[in-house]
Amino acid sequence: MKIHGIEIKKINDNLWEIPKSGGMLVPGRIYTSQNMLETTLQTDEAIKQVINVAHLPGIQKYSLAMPDIHWGYGFPIGGVAATDLNNGVISPGGVGYDINCGVRLAKTNLRNNEVKNKIQKLIENLFNNIPTGVGAKGAIKKLSVSEIKRILRNGAGWAVENGFGSKEDLLLTEETGCLADADPETVSERAIERGVDQAGTLGSGNHFLEVDIVEEIYDGTKAEIFGLFKDQIVIQIHTGSRGLGYQICDDYLKILLQAEKKFGFNLPDKQLACAPIQSGEGQNYLRAMRCAANFAWNNRQVIMYLAKKSFKETFSISENELGFNLIYDVCHNIAKIEEHEVDGIRKKVCVHRKGATRAFPPGSKFIPDRYRNTGQPVLIPGDMGRYSFVSAGTKKAMEETFGSSCHGAGRVQSRHKAMKEAKGRDLLKELTEQGIVIQAKGFKTIAEEMPFAYKDVSEVVDVMHYTGISTKVAKLKPIGVIKG
């Protein structure tokens, strides 16, 4: 099959390979269905980006793309690439602007029939308690520069130390909510300035807080261990490092564009600006990126605390009755040093996951003890009108994708095109008719994020399920959403 003049070979029904050619150092591999390959990818040039990434110095095995693949900056969104720790590079385009944009899933003891008559009030309270939108300021007081630097070093631990949650939350967060070797001295004054009043804010764009019902259970044993049951009310929080992370990415793209000349790289796209991992530029970017990741984990921890407060206010219920507890928090848009098997040898690599989620298997020492027999919970939000999924990581993910899975539905329309299609439509009414209560800062955000702008996440998740990369545990259906 050819797409955009590129030869793509079928490995199986859900896996396709772009053979190595020209300056590619490895083949490209795309996990997708034939239907998505022939429809959405015919109009999206992200396949060319898979090829471009295959040119990165030190790339290992394959340039990978998950089924939610679509065009991004440098890397496709849904892109995964591992580079050799000693001879490879780090590329901010493989992380993205919204560093550690991630998803947190919390559970309650409540069932749908206990919530449905108060869902409007609940969404109002959530919207009032959790700052949303561009430039939103934190629900906590404006922090000093020294306090922001503490967050950059300590991540979600800062929130817990300051009364926004418990130590148990940290145990159920990827990396316990903090990447080591984060160095605030590698972060610009402008980035810190942008973060001083954004701790505990949801932001705008595709960020959201969603109240869901557990609509379907696929794996009863794993669901029980995760704490999920049918008709249960659960909460998803999707946000990242806000303006601070964006600024860090912007700052280092400029630095690494110069580094590319210094190191004599000749890449097919300047958006793949990179530096050797072991260089001063590469190490400084990693330290700064970890700061942004820690800021994001702290952000989601504070927002979860505010969401719990909103539930207690709405239902006049005790903490024990509510049972509002974290299931897991996963990050995407990240680069992490991990150990993986390459050509039969265990070695350390830098795994770029841009719009991709970690999916570590049963037995991994890097996931909480609670999930040691199930594999890591993999949280895959859809769009605000249909459904989301909870899956579990597998051994096959470690063998094929550097322990990675998809991170969401993936856009099929640009924000501009979605706005154009929304013209003249009563979007709030459309969502209300589907049984979804929504509050947002304005029409624009709702229009840009309507279901028609996204792939059907069930098709995306099925690709991962049937290839055995991450297997389905439960399906969630939205009943209430707040957005910026």
The set of catalytic residues is: 407
β-sheet bridge partners, residue 6: 3
* Of residues 40, 33, 69, the one with CA closest to residue 53: 69
DSSP run (H or E) holding 281: helix 280-315
Sign of torsion, CA 240 244 247 249? negative
Q: Would you state the structure tokens that stand for residue 18, as one six-digit string?
A: 């772009």
Cα–Cα distance, 155 to 160 (Å, whole number):
9
Residues with Cβ within 8 Å of 269's Cβ and at least 6 positions away in sequence, in order, are 49, 52, 74
The answer to whether the CB of 334 falls within 8 A of the CB of 134 is no
DSSP per-residue letters across 3-38: ETTEE-EEEETTEEEE---TT-SS-EEEE--HHHHH
* Of residues 34, 39, 41, 44, the one with CA closest to residue 10: 34
Cα dihedral 338→340→345→347 (10° resolution): -10
User: DSSP 3-state assignment of 344?
Assistant: coil
Give the phi and the psi of residue 442 in degrees, each rounded to 5.
Answer: -170, 170
Cα–Cα distance, 463 to 222 (Å, whole number):
20
Degrees to nearest 5, angle at CA 476 with 314 and 401: 130
Cα–Cα distance, 288 to 315 (Å, whole number):
41
